[in-house]
Amino acid sequence: MSNLSNKEFESFFYKEINKNFIHENNPVISVAVSGGPDSIALVFLLKKWINKKRGTLVTLIVNHNIRNDSYQESRIVKNYLEKNNIKSFVLDVSKQKVGKGSMYQARENRFSKIVNYCKSNKIFYVFLGHHLEDNLETFVIRKASGSNIEGLNSMQYKSIYNGIQIIRPLINFSKKNILKYISCHELKFIDDPSNKDEKYSRVVVRNFIKKNTSIKSNILRDFNFIRDNYFEYIKMIYKIFILTNYKIQKKSLTFFSENFINLDEEIQIKIIQISYKYLNSKKAFLRYKKIIPLITKFNKFEKISMNLGGIEVKKNKKYIYFSC
């Protein structure tokens, strides 16, 4: 959605949020605010929505401490929001946790601060301002790094992070819609210089897409293909899981060794990830680099016994066992 009027943009926004966000009466929600146009637009859109729901909105501004101006900027944003009757809190990241100032570290620090605040204050929803172009950048970055289909599915409208529901209601809207809304309502925002600094890979990708409009249409086509076929892919994975599986019990999964070994490596990885999530729900994500050595051993040795992130893995000529 790119060429929408402000009236259409707001109408679609509220229609989507009412359809996709299931909540209790008088919901309490938080919004992560950087001070940029995306999060500022999101806050004011949600302010109107939450008033109709008779709920409570809290904005969380993270001072990431990467730039010298970040402390002052976080307070400017807080004051601006509070002047507009929006409850705001600044969460300061310790300078010891800043590291080398990478985007990855800043993102981890930001999520940690926001999630911890929400858990401490019994807030179960965090709204983020990611939009369509952000998702296309994520898609390109993941494609360049060799992600599988699950990774290429990129950011979702709704997801769960450490027990908190993450909602991205702008994810299907373009930056043009957001800037048009900002201009129409004369909202103020902060321009973060790091968004133009090509020492960050995301900025390089962003500028590349902007300069190559014909390539953008190809990226969007590939992106939509993945999104349109993702659930068929998941169905296929689980069908293979069932065909390969011998026995499912509460604390163990057993697979036929020969069937498993004959699978493509990417499918093997998915089956191991599903098994790990089933047996270790408290730590359901298992990194790719931890799985590859196990698959190598499966292919090389007839018998193995090892620990994989807290679960026991055994293999003999006939079966492969995962247990907790």
- Kind of pairing, strands 319-323 and 164-167? unpaired
Q: Is 117 found in the same domain as 69? A: yes
Residue 285, in any domain of the structure: yes
Q: DSSP 3-state assignment of 254?
A: strand
Q: Is 17 found in the same domain as 106? A: yes
Q: Is 174 found in the same domain as 291? A: no
> Which has the higher per-residue pLDDT, 118 or 111?
118
Predicted local confidence at residue 192, as pLDDT: 77
**What is the rounded distance in angstroms from the CA atom of residue 162 to the CA atom of residue 71?**
27
> Which has the higher per-residue pLDDT, 69 or 253?
253
> Does residue 289 surpass a pLDDT of 90?
no
Closest CA to 203 of 99, 133, 112: 133
pLDDT in tens, 196-236: 777 778 889 998 888 888 888 899 999 999 999 999 999 99
Residue whose structure tokens are 């943009």? 9
Residue 202, in any domain of the structure: yes
* Domain of residue 21, CATH code: 3.40.50.620
Q: Is 255 found in the same domain as 106? A: no
DSSP state at residue 198: T
Residue 70, in any domain of the structure: yes
Tokens encoding 163 = 């027990």
- Please tell me the pTM assigned to this model: 0.84
> Which has the higher per-residue pLDDT, 280 or 49?
49
Tokens encoding 97 = 């946790």
Residues 6+ away with beta carbon under 8 Å from 100: none
Q: Is 65 found in the same domain as 155? A: yes
Predicted local confidence at residue 282, as pLDDT: 73
Provide the residue range defining the domain that includes 317: 237-323
Residue 288 near residue 309, CB atoms below 8 Å: no
Residue 299, in any domain of the structure: yes
Residue 116, in any domain of the structure: yes
- What separation in angstroms does the CA of 253 have from each of 24, 166, 301? 37, 31, 20
Predicted local confidence at residue 2, as pLDDT: 67
Q: Is 125 found in the same domain as 18? A: yes
Predicted local confidence at residue 182, as pLDDT: 96
* Domain of residue 277, CATH code: 3.30.465.60
> Does residue 101 surpass a pLDDT of 60?
no
Residue 228, in any domain of the structure: no
pLDDT in tens, 241-265: 999 999 999 999 999 999 999 999 9
Q: Is 270 found in the same domain as 203? A: no
Q: Is 85 found in the same domain as 36? A: yes
**What is the rounded distance in angstroms from the CA atom of residue 117 to the CA atom of residue 33?**
14
Cα within 13 Å of Cα(11), Cβ side: 5
pLDDT in tens, 19-37: 999 888 999 999 999 999 9
Q: Is 278 found in the same domain as 201? A: no
Q: Is 303 found in the same domain as 165? A: no
Question: Total domain count for the chain?
Answer: 2
Q: Is 194 found in the same domain as 71? A: yes
> Does residue 60 surpass a pLDDT of 80?
yes
> Does residue 116 surpass a pLDDT of 70?
yes
H helices of the chain, where? 6-20, 37-52, 70-83, 103-120, 132-144, 149-152, 175-184, 201-211, 213-244, 257-261, 265-279, 288-300
Looking at the chain, the whole-number percentage of residues with pLDDT higher than 90 is 69
Closest CA to 131 of 191, 175, 180, 195: 175
Q: Is 130 found in the same domain as 16? A: yes
Residue 223, in any domain of the structure: no
Residue 196, in any domain of the structure: yes
pLDDT band at 100 (very low <50, low <70, confident <90, very high): low
